[in-house]
Amino acid sequence: MAAVEQVKSSYALQNSGFWTVNRLRIAGFLTLLTLWELAGASGLFFRGILPSSVLIAKALIELLSSSAFYVHLAVTAIEVLVSFVLGGGAGVAAGLLLGASKRAGDIYEPFIHYLAPTPKIVFLPILLVLFGVGMGSKIALGTISAFFPMALNIAAGVRQVSPVLLRVGKTFSLTPAQTVKMIYLPALVPPLATGLRIALGISIVGCLLSEYKLAKSGLGFLAGQYYESFHVAHMLAVLIFIFVCAALGNVLIERFVRLPGQRPTGK
Amino acid sequence: MRKSWVLAASAALTFVTPALAETFKLAVPQRGLWETAFVEIGAAAGIFKKEGIDIEPLYTRGGSETVQAVLSGSVDLAVSNGLLGTIGAYSKGAPLRVTGASMTGTPDAFWYARTDSGIKRVKDIAGKKIGFSQPGSSTHLIVQALLDHYKIKAEIVPSGSPSGSFTMTMSKQIDLGWSVPPFRLQEIAEGKVQIVMRGSEVPSLQDQTVRVHITTAQTLARKRDLMVRFHRALAATLDYAYSNDAALVEYAKMAKITPELARRVRDEFHPKANMQLKEIKGLQQSLDQALQFKNIAKAMKPEDVKGLFEILIP
Amino acid sequence: MRRRLPVATDQAVSDAVISTKPFRPGRLPAWAMRLLVIAGAVGLWEVCARIGWINPFTAPPPSGIWDGFLRLLGEGEIARALALTTIEAFGAAALGGVFGIAGGYLLHRIKLAGVAFTSWVAAAASAPLVLLYPLFLVIFGRNAGTIIAMGALGCMPAIILKTKEGLDGVRPVLLNVGKTFSLTARQQFWMIQFPAALPVIFTGIRIGLLFAIINVVGVEFLIAVGGLGYLIANLGDRFDYPAMYAGIFFVVLVSIAFFWITERLERWLLSSK
């Protein structure tokens, strides 16, 4: 209900006064741009590291019009997608098992719970030697990273299914399969959505950082190469591109993970 | 009937195959260095093709990463690797083999300061902050040796890659940054920074092989013929690079500098004698330094690391 | 799916509440099972590494790792690295917490801003902010300050989002109660809204600490300033794999400890409300 009221009031705001959502976003963007330019021109910092937005824009255009860039983009995209699917999928499976079985959950969930905050990048040297320098090690790191938040979210989601609903199901004599379909699955949509967003974000960061450290190709590798040759504007252009893609990815998940008739999940 | 087709086809193939080039994968730290430019120079001059080799370089951003690449089997050879690190890994059981020398002496490294800092000569660096890459690196070794040699006290600060060091110098976080050509040559030509001291000024380091080419025992056993052919082509490329100006043009294109600067990089910063491939010089000195920098746990003599070296240069 | 899913029967509920389950012989408590699993894994690793089924250079046997750990302790490296990483992680979480809660409050209070910018913040949470380190190095220098700043930036999006979620999710029923008591807006906020949002906000801070540790160790891994991340990267560079694995396990232990502490803290703070 709170969500519906909020949406209503935001629509109301959208139609009153000068500020609309889009105008506010443009204003926000322009403010950031201005701050950047001021910081660069102020002379307080080494200008080489804070190139003007004009230079960054030019670099971005150069990047987007070179075919080599798209090869790197494809490599990173594949790495992220595969780790997201593998890690997320394994996480969902593990989460379901742990949430459904009290015994399994009691024994094994603490492992996942306490390993989750470990920075997975520390495993990178081992993964590099095991899986080589190509996409394999990046996918491995992305998968391991994405597994944990998804497993925890799903396990918590399974356990949080309201006992009231389950009793209602029992009075209707639902079969286990029907229970899953009509009670568990809808209840799992919000944690699944949250898990997907977190898993995507973590896969992206994991793949990019490992590309930056040691890789043959990919956007992280490209950013590193540009920094080494001190083409800072190009490095920043790559990072901006990544940021925009991550934003789009988030928006897609938000739109997709919504069963018909349900309230929009997450805001 | 089908069987004879297969036999005929495979017979035909055995005649065709030698003409197809074999892929040779290299891990190369840092793109643009003259020391590793043989990759592009040799490829452009067709020297590797003549030995039936197709080079596939993998550019990394540091020394240990090239070793990781060769250990994982992703590449056949890790080029231009620090000898101390190699000895350290070997002493811990890594199945590495050194197949050739890459750099003897330290003529390429240099330290520079902003032109507006007033630091022009070595005597000006007393008490200042001097950058090197990271603890245990060759620049760490060289900068300490330089300070010892000149008997000057100054503070040394890890500053990362040439880019990182440049950023710190221009942000006045350190007074001297380190670099190797071709990096910073443009800024020097533009008068933004000036060279204050060079690695070549330490006499004790000039007869020591500091970087080598390495592979693993397994790769060497499996691909010995390919390895031998590669090293033959490598030696030929080196001769070519120092006798033919076309090599300079190719390098200038790759490093995005003028051919004149390219000549300076080759002749001033990489004298041919330092680029010799066959001999690992000053091994005992390297072993002593490896102990000092904790690459190895116990003192070692050349006999102890005999198994590490298998020079393939003709 | 043949297996019967757990259903909240009266028996199950009272079992959970009263915990008078009789100890069934042959069924070990969960913690014992966990120890068994760990011991089994370690034993298996030791044997495989010694026989050579696992490459002992790249995956040294646990006994070698233990030696490496003792070596690190003896040289004092690990204590120093631990101290530095701890200070940086808590500093980053504190900074990120302060700005994150403030940001989340703003996005909640100014509804239009919330609608406009929440997706930007969510995108920032998925972006590799760590790769902006050259910029931070220039501004803060090659020291712990950079790492704390980057850690703070890394955990802010999560805290902002959770704070906003918490404040947004306060049930209108509670707010209406406040109105019937004619509370001022300020009283309304501090007496009803904030306390009601606190559980979610605390989840945000816990997630924030998680992200702070991950970002801090990640940055340490990439830039050689010090701390556990650097230690692990350096040991890997030196091919001292036994000590590197020891370092990795140590990081795991440390993050477990941090997590446990913050969970206890959260429980204590919430229970005293």
Query: Does B257 fall in a domain?
Result: yes
- Picking from A237, A248, A228, the residue whose alpha carbon sits closest to that of residue A77 is A248
Q: Which residues of chain A lie closer than 8 angstroms to C5, CB-CB? A: 100, 176, 179-180, 184
- The answer to whether A153 and A95 have CB atoms below 8 angstroms apart is yes
Mutate to test the interface with A, among B23, B25, B60, B72 (most CBs of A within 10 A): B72
> For residue B65, what is the nearest residue in chain A, using CA coordinates?
A214
pLDDT score of B137 more than 80: yes
Contact C223 B95 (CB under 8 A): no
- For the segment B74-85, the average pLDDT, to the nearest whole number, is 91
Nearest-CA distance from B89 to chain A in Å? 14
The three-point CA angle B3-B6-B11 to 5° equals: 125
Sort out which chain C residues have CB atoms less than 8 A from B171's CB and list them.
Answer: 138, 141
Q: Which helix (H) or strand (E) holds A109?
A: helix A102-115
Q: Does A49 contact C135 at a Cβ distance shorter than 8 Å?
A: yes
What's the domain range around B194? 110-205
Domain end position, chosen among B205, B238, B259? B205
The whole-chain average pLDDT of chain A stands at: 83
Looking at every residue in chain B, the average pLDDT score rounds to: 89
Residues B201 and B212 reside in one and the same domain: no
Q: Which of A46, A214, A224 sits opposite B167 (nearest CB)?
A: A46
Place A85 in a pLDDT band, splitting at 50, 70 and 90: very high
Percent of chain A with pLDDT over 70: 90
Which residues, other chains included, contact B110 with Cβ-Cβ below 8 Å and sequence gap of 6+? B178, B179, B180, B181, B195, B197, B198, B199, B269
pLDDT score at A128: 84
B140 touches chain C (CB under 8 A): no
Please give the Cα distance from B214 to B208 (Å, whole number). 17
| DSSP letter string, chain B | -HHHHHHHHHHHHHHHGGGSPEEEEEEEESTT-STTTHHHHHHHTTHHHHTTEEEEEEEESSHHHHHHHHHTTS-SEEEEEEHHHHHHHHHTT--EEEEEEEEES--S-EEEEEGGGT--SGGGGTT-EEEESSTTSHHHHHHHHHHHHHT---EEEE--SHHHHHHHHHTTSSSEEEE-TTTTHHHHHTTSEEEEEEGGG-GGGTTSEEEEEEEEHHHHHHTHHHHHHHHHHHHHHHHHHHH-HHHHHHHHHHHT--HHHHHHHHHHHS-GGGG--S----HHHHHHHHHHTTSSSS---GGGGGGGB-----
Which residues, other chains included, contact B19 with Cβ-Cβ below 8 Å and sequence gap of 6+?
A: B52
- Domain membership flag for residue B24: yes
Strands of the B53-60 sheet, one edge to the other: B53-60, B22-29, B77-82, B209-216, B96-104
For residue A259, name the pLDDT band (cuts at 50, 70, 90). Answer: very low
Work out whether strand B110-114 and strand B155-158 pair parallel, antiparallel, or are unpaired: unpaired
**Contact criterion met (CB < 8 Å) for A213 and C8:** no
Q: Is B299 exposed, middle or buried (0-12, 13-18, 19+ CB in 10 A)?
A: exposed
Q: What phi-psi label fits residue B296: left (phi over 0), alpha (psi between -120 and 50 degrees) or beta?
A: beta
B219, pLDDT greater than 50: yes
Identify whether residues B219 and B101 lie together within a single domain: yes
Q: How many CA atoms lie within 13 A of B138 on its CB side?
A: 28
Residue A92 DSSP label: H
Per-residue pLDDT at C1 = 45
Tell which wins on pLDDT, C7 or A56: A56
- Which of A63-67, B71-75, C186-190 is least confident? C186-190
Q: What does the mean pLDDT of chain C come to?
A: 82
**Spatial distance between the Cα atoms of B114 and B170, rounded to a whole number of angstroms:** 7
List the single residue in C137, C234, C241 with the smallest CB-CB distance to B164: C137
CATH number of A54-256: 1.10.3720.10
Digit-coded pLDDT (tens) for C108-153? 888 888 888 888 888 888 788 888 888 888 888 888 899 999 999 9
Dump pLDDT digits (tens) for A152-185.
Answer: 888 888 887 777 877 888 888 888 777 777 777 7
Give the mean pLDDT of B224-241: 94
Check CB contact under 8 Å for C34 and A250. Answer: no
Residue C103 pLDDT more than 80? yes
Contact A229 B65 (CB under 8 A): no
pLDDT tens column, C154-172: 889 888 988 888 888 777 8
> What is the predicted pLDDT for the residue at C255?
80
User: Does C199 score more than 80 pLDDT?
Assistant: no
Task: Note which residues in 164-223 of chain A have CB less than 8 A from chain B.
Answer: 213-214, 216
Q: What is the pLDDT of residues B268-290, one digit of tens each?
A: 999 999 999 999 999 999 999 99
Q: C72 to chain A, minimum CA–CA distance in Å?
A: 17
Degrees, nearest 5: CA angle A78-A80-A83: 105
Query: pLDDT band for position C29 (50/70/90)?
Result: confident
CB spacing of C142 vs B71 below 8 angstroms: no
Per-residue pLDDT at A143: 95
- The mean per-residue pLDDT over the stretch C215-235 comes to 86
User: Greater confidence, A240 or C211?
Assistant: A240
Asked whether the beta carbons of residue B89 and residue C239 sit closer than 8 angstroms, the reply is yes
Mapped onto helix, strand or coil, the DSSP state of residue A78 is helix
User: Is pLDDT above 80 for A264?
Assistant: no
- Write down all domains in chain C, each with its CATH number in brackets: 74-271 (1.10.3720.10)
Residues 6+ apart with CB under 8 A from A204: A80, A142, A242, A246, A249, C126, C127, C128
Residues C122 and C19: their CA atoms lie apart, in Å, by 41
Confidence grade of residue B17 (pLDDT, cut at 50, 70, 90):
very low
Name the least confident of A141-155, B22-36, B232-246, C205-219: C205-219
A114: which chain C residues are within 8 Å (Cβ-Cβ)?
255-256, 259-260
Residue B6: inside a domain, yes or no? no
Q: Does residue A262 have a pLDDT over 60?
A: no
Per-residue confidence (pLDDT) for residue A54, from 0 to 100 = 92
- At C41-65, the pLDDT tens digits run 899 988 888 887 777 777 888 988 9
CA A64 → CA A53, A74, A237, C17, distances in Å? Answer: 16, 13, 10, 61
* CB burial readout C132-168, b (16+ within 10 A) else e: bbbbbbbbbbbebbbbbbbbbbbbbbbbbbbbbbbbb
Residues in chain C within 8 Å Cβ distance of A113: 259
Whether the CB-CB separation of B276 and B104 falls below 8 Å is answered with yes
Of A76-80, B223-227, C190-194, the one with minimum mean pLDDT is C190-194
Within a domain: residue B149?
Answer: yes
- Return the closest-CA partner of residue A225 out of A14, A63, A6: A63
Domain-terminating residue out of B205, B235, B258: B205
Q: Are residues B300 and B216 in the same domain?
A: yes
% residues pLDDT > 90 (chain A)? 30
Give the minimum alpha-carbon distance from A251 to chain C in angstroms, rounded to a whole number.
7
- Predicted complex ipTM: 0.76
Q: How many CB atoms lie within 10 A of CB A266?
A: 18
Instruction: Check pLDDT > 80 for residue B111.
Output: yes
Indicate the pLDDT class of residue A263, thresholds 50, 70 and 90: very low
Q: Are residues B229 and B185 in the same domain?
A: no
How many CB atoms sit inside 10 A of residue B162's CB?
Answer: 24
Give me the pLDDT at residue A260, please: 40
**What confidence score (pLDDT) does residue C5 get?**
57
Co-location of B78 and B35 in the same domain: yes
The pLDDT-based confidence of A6 (bands split at 50, 70, 90) is: low
Mark whether B149 and B267 lie in a shared domain: no
Q: Is the pLDDT of residue C95 over 60?
A: yes
Of A226 and C238, the one with more pLDDT = A226
Residues B217 and B200 in one domain: no
Confidence of residue B238 (pLDDT cuts 50, 70, 90): very high
**Statement to judge: residues B88 and B218 lie in one domain:** yes
Residue B293's CATH number = 3.40.190.10
Of C142, C234, C238, the CB nearest to B173: C142
pLDDT of residue C16: 54
Residues from chain B contacting residue A134 (CB–CB below 8 Å): 74
Quick one: tokens of A34? 């201005």
pLDDT value of position B3: 59
Per-residue pLDDT at B75: 92
Place of tokens 């379901």: A96
| Closest chain A C-alpha to C137 CA, distance in angstroms | 10
Q: Based on the fold, state whether residues B169 and B214 are members of the same structural domain.
A: no
| pTM for this entry | 0.81
**Taking CB atoms and an 8 Å cutoff, what residues of chain A touch C210?**
116-117
Last residue of a domain, one of B182, B205, B228: B205
Total count of domains within chain B: 2
Side chain identity at residue A188, one-letter code: L
B151 and B231 assigned to the same domain: no
Please report the pLDDT score of residue A261 as a whole number: 39
Q: Hey, is A24 helix, strand or coil?
A: helix
B129-132: strand order across its sheet: B155-158, B129-132, B176-179, B110-114, B193-198
Element (H, E) at A9: helix A2-14
